[in-house]
Amino acid sequence: MSTPTIKVGDTIPQGTFSYVPYTDELDDPLKCGSPVKLNTDEWKGKKVVLLSVPGAFTPGCHIHHLPPFLAKYDELKAKGVDVIAVVAANDAFVMSGWGRAEGLKDKILALTDPNATWSASMGLSVDLSHVGFGTRTSRYAMIINDLKVEYIGAEPAGGITVSGADAVLEKL
């Protein structure tokens, strides 16, 4: 991972993500849904917890990183969080499938950052070509309030500490 260039107090860069909104129809694993766009401008006036992972269904992300955010959903919402989202460089259909496997339903948005472009603009991408993954989003978490960064926890390498649910809750 490169060193983050975004800092607490900075305004996040404008970006557009894709995601498949949850509907009851998606409880059927043979349904796909249709991706829609979400622009970061939609977060104006909102408190957002954004979790970033290198890849859906990868061991650290699938088992250790995302599940605690879902388990602590009520605690996050009680701290005034309007939107909780997870982002990765995977496509919208993979992120939707992962979200369904994790049981996110409509609680946590599963967003795609194609080619980690948005994350890279903040110094938060990682080249995983050596394992065949290409450029991915780094492992990080942000608290964004009215488009300004209130907290950023970027993991140096391995482990889930500053980007974990407990670390984020402490900073809310």
Which residues are catalytic, by number? Answer: 61
User: Which DSSP category does 166 fall into?
Assistant: H
SS (H, E, C) 60-102: HHHHHHHHHHHHCHHHHHHCCCCEEEEEECCCHHHHHHHHHHH
**Distant-in-sequence, close-in-space partners of 118: CB < 8 Å, separation ≥ 6:** 13, 15, 17, 87
Q: Are strands 83-88 and 140-145 parallel, antiparallel or unpaired?
A: unpaired
Do residues 26 and 101 make contact, with C-beta atoms less than 8 angstroms apart?
no
Backbone angles phi, psi at 38, to 5 degrees: -130, 120
d(CA 140, CA 119): 10
Strands 148-154, 36-39: pairing kind:
unpaired
